Amino acid sequence: MNFKNAIVRTPGKNFSQGLTSANLGEPDYQKTLEQHTAYCRALQQCGLNLTTLDPDLEYPDSTFVEDTAVLIPSAAILTRPGAASRIGEVAAIHLQLQRFYRQFYSITSPGSLEGGDICQAGSHFFIGLSDRTNEEGARQLAEFLAKEGYTSSTVDIRNIRDILHLKSGIAYLGDNTLVVIKSLNDHPAFKGYKTILMDPEENYAANCVMINGRVLLAKGYPKFKAKLEALGFTTIPLDVSEFQKMDGGLSCLSLRF
């Protein structure tokens, strides 16, 4: 799947006031901005046209725009974040998406769903059940996707330590290939896929992104980088240490479509 566009939001000065369970210390704001700028350059290097939104100080987590929508060519599905403090982020993204989409669906209460729990693998979607995405949110999304010709299956990660969202533990790289952390490797939903198994000490790097033939991955994970390059993938390592401190990763920082 080729992408043409991406939406990103510059982190605000109160970025460190967002939600986190990482216990890695407070992010340095200047370094956060530098890393975000490098990320945006990488998206452009992959051929994407960027829509860059100003910081939204009302919502410290709002730079993690991926959680607000699930995008397919025919429709935009607006989410309903499981963190109450983030629900208001969706309206601003809706306004931006109206420039690109005419067909919209919305996850409604009592459903909750965040984009970080949704992994597209071709015409199939894996929907993570997590502390942020519940069964009702997953049911609604599956219904919307079916209307647009897609299949889906759920993957319960609520008993898996150290991952917030499904895409903290898997990524789809095309050609029926998944990156998977060890605790998800034997899940029946992934039967029939080729898998690239993460070394446990490098699990954070599982949150990587395939964009137009290049894989963006977190810098500092040499075993994973070597595995990808041995398989013929072109990699773009990026330092996202400040976002990791706020439970974020590479996929979280953009909506790609």
Give the pLDDT confidence of 74-106 residue by residue, as tens digits: 999 999 999 999 999 999 999 999 999 999 999
Q: How many residues does the chain have?
A: 257
Q: Supply the pLDDT for residue 161.
A: 86
Q: Of residues 40, 46, 208, 252, which has the active-site annotation? A: 252
Decide if 165 is catalytic.
yes
Task: Enter the tokens of residue 228.
Answer: 């990808």
Q: Are 80 and 69 in contact (CB under 8 A)?
A: no
Predicted confidence band at 1 (pLDDT cuts at 50, 70, 90)? Answer: confident
pLDDT of residue 248 exceeding 90: yes
Classify 62 in phi/psi space as left (phi over 0), alpha (psi -120 to 50) or beta: alpha
8 A C-beta contact, residue 196 and residue 186: no
Pick the catalytic residue from 36, 40, 165, 208: 165
Q: Taking residues 4-27, what's their average pLDDT?
A: 97
Mean pLDDT on 248-252: 98
pTM over 0.95: yes
Instruction: Indicate if the pLDDT at residue 53 is higher than 90.
Output: yes
b/e code 136-157 from CB counts within 10 Å (16+ = b): bbbbbbbebbeeeebebebbeb
Domains belonging to the chain, first-starting first, are 5-256 (3.75.10.10)
What is the average pLDDT value for the chain, to the nearest integer?
98
Is the pLDDT at 230 greater than 90, yes or no?
A: yes
Q: Above 90 in pLDDT, residue 58?
A: yes
Average pLDDT of the segment spanning 106-127: 98
Q: Is 248 helix (H, G, I), strand (E, B) or coil?
A: coil
Average pLDDT on 62-80 reads 98
**How many beta carbons lie within 10 A of that of residue 73, not counting itself?**
9
124 is catalytic: no
Place of tokens 């909506």: 255
What is 54-76 written as a DSSP string? PP-TT-TTTT-GGGGEEEETTEE
Chain segment 136-170, per-residue pLDDT in tens? 999 999 999 999 999 999 999 999 988 999 999 99
